[in-house]
Structure formats: C-alpha cells, structure tokens
Structure 1
C-alpha cells in the first residue's frame, strides 16, 4: 500500500478514520483542477507498459513463438475468436478486432494496477476513465449502425419483427432510450463501481489492520486478521478485475454487433 493511501488512517487518540472517495484524488504535481494526480501517472505507466509489450511481442515473429509473442497471440486470439467473432459475426468482425483487443488489454491492465505492489491504484476506479472508454464504444457502435443501416434503418431495426403496430412506438422509444442512455450509463458505472468498491475494501482492511496493530498486543491479533482478509480479498479482486475487463469488452462487441446486424 502506498504511503499516500496509508494516510487514510488518522489516529486521533483511539479514533479511526477509514478510506473515502477522496483517496482517489492524490495530486502529485500542482493542485486544483490542473493537478497531475496519481491515477493520471498510473494511466501513463500502463500505456508505456502496453506499448513496450506490444512492440516487443510483435517484433521478429517466429513460427515457434517466444514468451512475448505467445502471450500476445493468445490474448489476441481470445479477443478475436471468443469475443469479436461470436458477438459481431464472421462477416463484420475483422475490422473491430484491433479496437476490442486494445480495449481489453487496456482495461485489464488498469484494473490490475489495483493489486500491483507499490501502485495499488486502479485508474478505472476514477469515474472519468470508464466514461472516456465508454464514449469511444458509444461513438463506434452508433456511427457503425448509421453507416451500415442508414438513418431510418438504424432506428427501424431496434423494433423486433412481429411486434404489433399498436405497441411498436412504445417499443421503439424504450429501445432508443436503451441504445442512447441505458447502455453507455451501465457500461461505465459497472466498471467504475466494481473497481472503486474493490479498492475501498482492500484499503479498509489494510489501513484498519495497520491501525489495530498500533493499539496493543490484543488488538494486534485483530489487526493480523484484518491483514489476512486483505490477502484473501486480493485474490478475489484479481478475479473481479479480470472478469470486468472481459465483460466490458464483451458488451462493447455486443453493442457493435447490434449496429451491424441486418435485423433482429
């Protein structure tokens, strides 16, 4: 845990102040709205790691791949075959694989920063990051839909065939609300909520344990239990972080697939 996050524990006599949303706002340089914060630094770090990995993993490709090439091809093949092709369809999926692959590895690595030693900060736990990622998906699947089906056709395909004309307007309004409001809102909030909550829980267990071990021998035993729970929660958080990267990419592919679908 970073020294900054450990600052969430404030002892005023025997009083414990737990972590709060303010712990995500950790300015490193400057102050106010233009401060360079710790989540921003982690985002740059993640981008650098991904650039290094993809550069080295795709250089001097061989028939018998090395470790870097094997890892890259494995992740790329997973996104290509199990997400893009399954959700978008064999006719259109090729052109969206680079985008979905980039989204998956970017979200996954940013999520994993929440349990990475000496970092312990998932940028995806800051609402602006999921919103920015969702905005990319939002623009892509709407632009694709209008381009593939035309303006009228895009709205027409939202109503399943066979729906009685008397309720078709109601179904259309509900689908428009879903396509333009509900989908992007839930896509961003799902990722943000899971990463934010996971970081808060880990911080609470570690900070609480650190506070307790300073309160005497008996309380130190409870502090050890808190540290043990943090250890267990780290593995659980690893699972959640991986699943959330998969779910975000899966839903992005699903929405794009709806945009290129000829009909329900």
Structure 2
C-alpha cells in the first residue's frame, strides 16, 4: 500500500539518519515521469489511459455474448448500466433521459475506476486526486447542461431565466441576479470538481499517514514495533472506508451532473 517509490526512500533515509518520521504532504502527489522528461508520461496520465482500456474491454466482453440468462460478467455489466440508466438518468432527468444515458454512464464508470485505482495493489494512486482531471470533467458537465438548456429554450430565454428568476419581486433581483450568475457560471463547476478532488486527495493522504507511519514505527525501538500493527490495522480499516467514499463520490458527481441537466431542461430553472 505504498504508491510512491521516491518518497518512501526519502523516509527510510531520514529514519536511518535519525531524522524522525517525515509525514506525507501534497508534494507526494507530484509524481515524476515514468520515462523521459515529459509531464504527459506521468503515472496519473498512464492511469487515465489504463482506465479507458479497462472499461472498454470489460463492457465489450460482458456484452459480446449477451443471453437471456446472463453470465456473471454480463450480469455485472448490465447491473452497472441499469443503475446509471434508471437511478441516475431516468429518475432525475425524466422523459427525455435516454439521450443522456451514454454520457452519464461514461462519466460514472470513468470516475469510479479512476477512484478505485487508489486502493488497487501496485497502482495505488487515485487519479482524481490530481485536480486537473476533476476540472476537465466538471467543464464537460458545465458545457453539456448549458448547451441542452440553450438548445431547448433558446439563448435569450435561458439566460434571462438565469439572471431574472421567475416569480421573484423585482427589488430582489439586485441581490439574487448576481448570486444566480455566480452560481451557474462559477460555483457549480468549481464545487463539482473540488468536491471530488478533495475527497480523493484527503483519503489517499490519510492512508499514506498510517501505512508509512506503521513502517516507520517498525524501524524504531521494541516499544514502537509493538505499536506499528495498530497503525497498519487502522490503514486497512481506512482502505475499506476509502472504497465506500470512492464509490460514493462517483455517484454524487454523476447525480449532480444529471440534476444540472434536468434543471437546464426544465421550463423554469
């Protein structure tokens, strides 16, 4: 459960020199290139491409020999698709949900797999702990829900309803209009991305603290060696907790995307 080769060596060197435990920090998420000297060859980039390959291969194989009595693989694939289709698209967006299912399905599976990389042995790095990836995903949601709103209602009516909420006293527009503009064009994409990033970053950092702390205690005196199993045990418990958070964050991100799309399609939003 140690995803960082360089940082671990630094920790061991510090321990050997009597420098004490060096706690993990944000610098440990800045990984060097796997090869060459290019920012596009880092581990997070490689994991993103790996996630696309894994998702594609899994659903192609699970649906290749579809049968009335599904195999375990087909059942797993259909369960994920049905969950996104019914619980996230149909129930939230309503009668016009079908055309958004592919987007929401891709969004959910992509985020889920990249989150789960944080607890998979040998990989052990949640891609979404690098804020640039949540920013890009939030930007796609931002573009999609504004696009469908403009396409259905027309640009003038869509932006008019954003700036001047129907049914509100005119005097209240002085306060409400700036807040609505700020919400639709800045707060929504920022909170959507930062929520995902912060949860993945903080969860992975906690795992590093207890796992690397347990390793450090093993190198101490006998009393510290006896304490180290507790640190490892907490790390294991946190791993299961992190699994739930990773799944939950993929769900929340996709759910909010569906809610924003539903709001853009509503006659009054």
Please, which of 10, 13, 18 is the counterpart of residue 13 of structure 1? 18
Q: Work out whether residues 93 and 261 of structure 2, in 8 Å CA contact, stay in contact via their aligned partners in 1.
A: yes
Cα gap change, 1:35 to 1:76, in 2 (>3 Å): closer
Structure 2 residue 30 is matched with structure 1 residue 30: no
Q: For residue 160 of structure 1, report the CA deviation from its aligned partner.
A: 4.2
Aligned equivalents of 2:10 and 2:256: distance in 1?
35
Q: For residue 169 of structure 1, report the CA deviation from its aligned partner.
A: 4.6
Structure 2 residue 264 is matched with structure 1 residue 259: yes
Please, which of 244, 252, 258 is the counterpart of residue 247 of structure 1? 252
Please, which of 176, 179, 186 is the counterpart of residue 184 of structure 2? 179
> Structure 1-normalised TM-score?
0.94
Aligned equivalents of 2:173 and 2:209: distance in 1?
50
Partner of 2:3: 2
Partner of 2:60: 55
- Structure 1: state its 5+ residue gaps: none
Give 4+ residue runs of structure 1 displaced > 4 Å after superposition.
none
Please, which of 108, 114, 121 is the counterpart of residue 110 of structure 1? 114
Partner of 1:44: 49
Please, which of 192, 217, 241 is the counterpart of residue 222 of structure 2? 217
> Structure 2-normalised TM-score?
0.93
Q: For residue 123 of structure 1, report the CA deviation from its aligned partner.
A: 0.4
Aligned equivalents of 1:227 and 1:14: distance in 2?
22
Q: For residue 49 of structure 1, report the CA deviation from its aligned partner.
A: 0.8
Q: For residue 88 of structure 1, report the CA deviation from its aligned partner.
A: 1.2
Q: For residue 6 of structure 1, report the CA deviation from its aligned partner.
A: 2.8
Q: Work out whether residues 4 and 28 of structure 2, in 8 Å CA contact, stay in contact via their aligned partners in 1.
A: no
Q: Work out whether residues 43 and 110 of structure 1, in 8 Å CA contact, stay in contact via their aligned partners in 2.
A: yes
Please, which of 189, 196, 200 is the counterpart of residue 195 of structure 1? 200
Higher share of residues assigned helix: 2
Q: Work out whether residues 8 and 18 of structure 1, in 8 Å CA contact, stay in contact via their aligned partners in 2.
A: no
Q: Work out whether residues 8 and 23 of structure 1, in 8 Å CA contact, stay in contact via their aligned partners in 2.
A: no
Name the count of aligned residue pairs: 262
SS of the equivalent of 1:29 reads coil
Q: For residue 209 of structure 1, report the CA deviation from its aligned partner.
A: 0.5
Cα gap change, 1:100 to 1:8, in 2 (>3 Å): farther
CA RMSD, Structure 1 to Structure 2 (Å)? 1.5
